Structure 1
Amino acid sequence: MRLMVKAPAKINLSLDVLGKRMDGYHEVEMVMTTIDLADRIELANLCEDRIEVVSQSRFVPDDQRNLAFQAANLLKKRFGVTDGVRISIDKVIPVAAGLAGGSSDAAATLRGLNKLWGLGLSIDELARLGSEIGSDVSFCVYGGTGLAQGRGEKVTTLPAPPNCWVILAKPEIGVSTSEIYKNVDMDKVTHPNTGAMIKALYQQSYEDVCLHLGNALEKVTLNMYPEVALIKEQMEKFGADAVLMSGSGPTVFGLVQHDSRLQRVYNGLRGFCNQVYAVRMLG
């Protein structure tokens, strides 16, 4: 049997860091939404009791480091599954980009294998399993738009953002999330207004969504990687309505409502960056 599952990327409309936890993670408060940039996961049963990961991208590990591998392994061990699986990843989301590509692959694998192996788990049960793999996996299991709290595993569903274009630009670097968090100085953190962002979503106010975009990690990454700061400056210069770095970076996104401005921003960025995408929100 074979099953295809879509694994969409996410962006952070708001990302706040509240402090360091006893378990070594940081307490966060994030408003996230999925976008129409997605990996495609094909799951195929194997007769042998093993997990095989295949991808055309040389940046995707094919062993225990891969979060989709970890998702399959967790289900096999937790529920005594003896079937094997081949996980084929058609990689579209940039790697190490702040877009939760690996986490979304893991979430898609959890959802897909739940069907393929007939486990009968609820979406909430899958999200709880996802929290054992990575901080963004729970949100990616649900998809849509949500508030993620704790270390990211507590997810509350929110209304989808107002319809608009999202322009993404990723420089030719990868960023380690753990490295960025290690350099967070809680005395210097600029906290976004999470409550105002949530209110903007409920009121479907595009202007207020733009006004309250915020990322407590952005200043850290911009100081460490000047090329990210340059892309943000250029995106603002070309006329995006609002610009923010997603996650720990290095991807920067801009929101645009009008098609004419979309083309100006997109074409302008192509001169500074090879990886530029114009997509819609799925949230």
Structure 2
Amino acid sequence: MDSIKLQAYGKINLSLDVLRQREDGYHDVRMIMQTVKLHDNIDLQKTREPGIRIKTNLSFLPVNENNLMYRAAKLLMDEFDIKEGVSMQLKKVIPVSAGMAGGSTDAASVFYGMNKLFDLKLSIEELKKRAVTLGADIPFCLMRGTALSEGIGEILTPLPKLPPCPIVLAKPAISVSTKFVYQNLHVNDLPGSAHPDVDSVIEALSRHDIKDVAECMGNILETVTCTHYPEIEDIKAAMKELGAVNAIMSGSGPTVFGIFDDEHKAKKCYESLRFGKNKHLAKQVYLTEPWR
């Protein structure tokens, strides 16, 4: 195998709770991760010339060791003493700095692709152990599907699949620093009502009840991000007005997703945010569905 084409899928958080800040500066979380069909495209190709080269359709993305794709490839090349080089072509579709694990899923795909391209014979579990050293979301992006994520995000438990449903994604014209959000999250000062009911979402998933899943969703990071960026609440309100069962922020934001139980309502919401009276609220809008 000299080349491989990959699809790197984004994620949303059906629920996200932060339990405490650890002594090492990280936070213990309890969240439900869900892969969606919105994806980047990555082409990997072996090269005779040693080294790692990245090309992308977005000029502002780093193409050196500051890129997680680069670091994923280098980790495996160093460990397995790979003498050949690799060329990567990234077509970025998932919004950047958006709470959808765009960088993590690209790195996960590189881990997977390098394993195949250079016949390293690593299992997904073995890849996950290496991936977590670069980022807490990367193991889930290798796993995909629906999962309970605990610890700093590296402890993953598969959950029943999210039932098929339309999902509208909308990112306002801002970028949010995950570091900023966590630095300004004071968990001990928040009331109990600020913590989402993660267990109720798990129970709803086990019943395959999309309405209850949506109604029980929550994200404790909204207490920080929405305070600084009120446009997130505006998008949530617009989605609910246009028929979403519920709408919340994904990850540390600023992307908002709405879950619908009616395809016509979802399309109407997408069109309103993309072309209609609500187009001023979001810079990027997508209509997608759960990856299964």
TM bin, normalised by shorter chain, reads: over 0.9
The amino acid that maps onto 2:263 is D
For residue 235 of structure 1, report the CA deviation from its aligned partner.
1.4
Deviations 1:130-167 (A, max 9, x none): 10111100100101111111111111111111110000
Separation in structure 2 between the aligned mates of residue 259 and residue 26 of structure 1, nearest angstrom: 37
| Alignment correspondent of 1:46 | 47
CA drift of 1:211 comes to: 1.6
Query: Aligned partners of 1:49 and 1:111: how far apart in 2?
Result: 20
CA contact (8 A) 1:42 1:88 kept: yes
Structure 1 unpaired stretches of 5+: none
AA in 2 matched with 1:84 = G
Q: Which letter does structure 1 place at the counterpart of 2:270?
A: Y
1:212-234 Cα deviation digits (max 9, x unpaired) = 10111012100011222221122
Determine whether 1:24 maps to 2:25: yes
Instruction: Supply the distance in 2 between the matched residues of 1:202 and 1:112 (Cα, whole angstroms).
Output: 33
| Residue identity opposite 1:46 in structure 2 | T
CA distance in 2, matches of 1:42, 1:147: 30
Conserved? CA contact 1:13–1:214, under 8 Å: yes
Is 1:216 matched with 2:220?
yes
- What stretches of structure 1 move > 4 A for 4+ residues in a row? none
Q: Distance in 2 between matches of 1:202 and 1:126?
A: 28
- The answer on whether the counterparts of 1:59 and 1:95 sit within 8 Å (CA) in structure 2 is no
Equivalent residue letter for 1:253: F
- 2:125 partner amino acid: D
1:237 is the counterpart of 2:266: no
Letter matched to residue 20 of structure 1: Q
CA distance, structure 2, for counterparts of residue 133 and residue 113 of structure 1: 16
* 2:161 partner letter: A
Paired amino acid for 2:260: V
**Given the alignment, which residue of 204, 225, 237 partners 2:208?**
204
8 Å contact kept, 2:248–2:258: yes
Structure 2 counterpart of 1:47, one-letter code: R
Residue 278 (structure 1) aligns with: 287
Which 10-residue stretch deviates more, 131-140 or 186-195? 186-195
2:141 matches 1:151: no
Contact 1:2–1:43 (CA under 8 A) maintained in structure 2? yes
After superposition, residues 259-270 of structure 1 pair within 5 angstroms as 259-270=263-274
Selected match of 2:190 from 183, 188, 191? 188
Q: Secondary structure at the match of 1:152?
A: coil
Q: How much does 1:103 deviate?
A: 0.2
Query: Hey, what's the Cα distance between the residues in 2 that align with 1:201 and 1:279?
Result: 19
- Do 2:267 and 2:287's aligned partners in 1 also have CA atoms closer than 8 Å? no
Alignment deviations for residues 18-77 of structure 1 (CA, whole Å, 9 cap, x no partner): 111122111011101111100011101111221111101123210111111110011112
Distance 2:242 2:24 in 1: 43
Q: Given the alignment of the two structures, is residue 132 of structure 1 paired with residue 133 of structure 2, yes or no?
A: yes
Kept in 2: contact 1:9–1:38 (CA 8 A): yes
Give the secondary-structure state (helix, strand or coil) at the position aligned to 1:249.
coil
Partner of 1:116: 117
Once residues 219 and 236 of structure 1 are traced to their aligned partners in structure 2, the CA distance between those partners, rounded to angstroms, is 19
Q: CA–CA distance in 1 between the matches of 2:78 and 2:157?
A: 28
Could you say what secondary structure the match of 1:233 adopts?
A: helix
TM-score for both structures, normalised by structure 2: 0.94
Query: For residue 71 of structure 1, what is the aligned residue in structure 2?
Result: 72
Distance in 1 between the 2:77 and 2:24 partners? 26
Matched AA of 1:280: E
CA RMSD in angstroms comes to 1.1
Q: Distance in 1 between matches of 2:254 and 2:217?
A: 16
Residue of structure 2 equivalent to 1:179: 180
Sequence identity (%): 43
Shift of 1:264: 2.0
Query: In structure 1, what is the Cα distance between the partners aligned to 2:86 and 2:250?
Result: 32
Aligned residues: 283
